Structure 1
C-alpha cells in the first residue's frame, strides 16, 4: 500500500481521514527524497545511478522513482515526439531508451511543464519498470516497483481458534494460527499445515507475486477456485509465514473464535501499469 495506493492516506479510497476543518483536494501528490542509492540496468549497462532519487506518490499508483538527468547516461535517452498530459503535473515527454544494441520505445519520461509547487521533479527522468532489465538499491535487485517506505508488514502469534470449512467439510482447525498485518489490507490469517486436511487442497494453476512477500502458490478447495494460498519460499523478512496457508473468506467459510470472517472491500491488487509490474515472470528471470 504505502501512502497513495490501496487504502493509504493519500488514496482516494483511504480508510481513515485527515482531522482538518476544510475539505482536502480529491487528489494529493507527495514527493520525497528516497535517501537510498538506486540504479537502473538495461542491456547489460548501468544507465542510471543516483543517490538523489525522488519518489513520487500519487493516488492509485505505486511510488515512481525520478532520477536527476545528470545521473542518467545522456546517450541512452532518445527523444521522440510523443507527449502526454498528466492530470496534475502537466505535459509528459517520452523517450526511447537505447543501449547495447537494444531499444525500448517509450521507456522513459520527463515532466516538462511542471507547476511551481512541483519543482522538485524538474529535470528528472523516470523509467518504465517493465521495460528495464532491473532496478537496484546498491547491489540488490528490487522487484515489482520502487520500495515504499510506508508499506509495513507485522506478523503476530495468536491463541485464537481459526476454523475453515467448505461445503460442510472441516478443512482446517488451528489453535495457534498467525496473523499478518499488511498496510492497506485487512488482517490475513495463516494456518500451519499440521492443522490442515491437505487432502482438501488441490494445487491450482498460476502464481502471483508480492514485492514484500514473494511468490504465492494457490489451491482449489472443492469447487472454490484459488480459495487458499501459500508462500512456500517466502522472503526472509516474512519468514514466519513460510509454508503456512491462508484462506479466502469469500470463497470458503472461515471463522475466528466462532465469528465468520468476511472479505473486506478494497483488497484487490492492480498488477500492471507503465510504472509497475507485479509479474511472477520478473521473479523467475532475476
Structure 2
C-alpha cells in the first residue's frame, strides 16, 4: 500500500478514515518533493537527471515522478499532436521520447493548463514507466514505480503456533513463523521449508512481481490452485522471507494459536507488471 493506491489513506477504498466533521472531496491529489536524485535511462542515454523531482499521488494509481523541463537532456522530447484532458489537472500534452536511435511514442506528458492550486507541477514532465529503459535513484535501479515513501514492510520473528491444514491433513506446522507486516495489508505469515510436509506443495508455472519483495512462485495444494507462494530470491530488504512459504487462508485452513485465519476484505493485490528487461535474476 502507498499513500493513494491499494488501501492507502487517499485511495478510493482506504482502510482507515479521516476524523473530520465535514466530508472530504471524493478525490484528493497530493504532490510533494521527492528529495532524492532520480534519473531516467533510455536508448543508452540519460534523458533526465534531477534532484528536484515532484511526486504526484493520485487515487488508485502508483506515484508518478515529474521532472523539471530544465533537467531533461536536450532534444529528447518531440511534441505530438495528441492531447488529452485530466479530470483534475486539465489539458495534457504528449511527447515522443528520442535518444540516439531509440524512440518511444506517447512516452512522456506535461500538464499545460494547470489550476493555480496545482502550480507545483508547472513546467514539469513525467515519463511512462514501461516506455523507458530504467529509472534510478543515484546509481541504483528502482523497479515497479517511483519510490512511495509511505509504503513500508516490517518482518518480525515470533514463537506463535501456526498450523496449515488441507481438510484433515496437516500441511505445515511451526512454532517460529515470520510475520510480514506490509502497509495496508493484514499480516502474512511465512513458514520455513523444514516445517512443511515435503510432498504437500506442487509447483506451478507463472510468477508475479512485487516491486518491494521480488518475484513470487506459486504452489497448488491438493485441489486448491495457487494456495501458497514463496519468494525464492526476495529483494535484500526482505531477505528473511527468502524461500519461506505463505499460505492463502481462503484456500486452505490456516490456524494461528488455534484461531482460524480468514482473508480480510480488500487484501487482493493490485496487479503489477514487470519492468522492461527485468529478469528474475536481477
Same-fold status (TM-score > 0.5): yes
> Does the C-alpha gap of structure 1 residues 285 and 176 become closer, same or farther in structure 2, counting only changes over 3 Å?
closer
- 1:188 — aligned with what? 188
- Compare 47-56 and 164-173 and name the one that shifted more: 164-173
- 2:41 — aligned with what? 41
Question: How far apart are residue 74 of structure 1 and its match?
Answer: 3.4
Q: Does 1:143 align with 2:139?
A: no
Map 1:166-177 → 2, pairs under 5 A? 166-177=166-177
- Compare 42-51 and 159-168 and name the one that shifted more: 159-168
> Does the C-alpha gap of structure 1 residues 283 and 86 become closer, same or farther in structure 2, counting only changes over 3 Å?
farther
Per-residue deviation, residues 227-261 of structure 1 (Å, max 9, x unmatched): 11111111111111111100011111111111111
Question: How far apart are residue 271 of structure 1 and its match?
Answer: 2.9
Dislocated runs of 4+, deviation >3 Å? 277-281, 283-286
> Does the C-alpha gap of structure 1 residues 285 and 158 become closer, same or farther in structure 2, counting only changes over 3 Å?
closer
Map 1:122-271 → 2, pairs under 5 A? 122-271=122-271
Question: How far apart are residue 180 of structure 1 and its match?
Answer: 0.3
In the alignment, is the contact (CA less than 8 A) between 1:55 and 1:65 conserved in 2? Answer: yes
Question: How far apart are residue 269 of structure 1 and its match?
Answer: 2.5
Per-residue deviation, residues 194-225 of structure 1 (Å, max 9, x unmatched): 11013110111111111111111111111111
Unmatched 5+ residue regions in structure 1? none
Question: How far apart are residue 89 of structure 1 and its match?
Answer: 0.7
Give RMSD over aligned pairs.
Answer: 1.4
Unmatched 5+ residue regions in structure 2? none
Count of aligned positions: 282
CA distance in 2, matches of 1:266, 1:175: 28
* SS of structure 2 residue aligned to 1:26: coil
When normalised by structure 1's length, the TM-score is: 0.95
* SS of structure 1 residue aligned to 2:113: coil
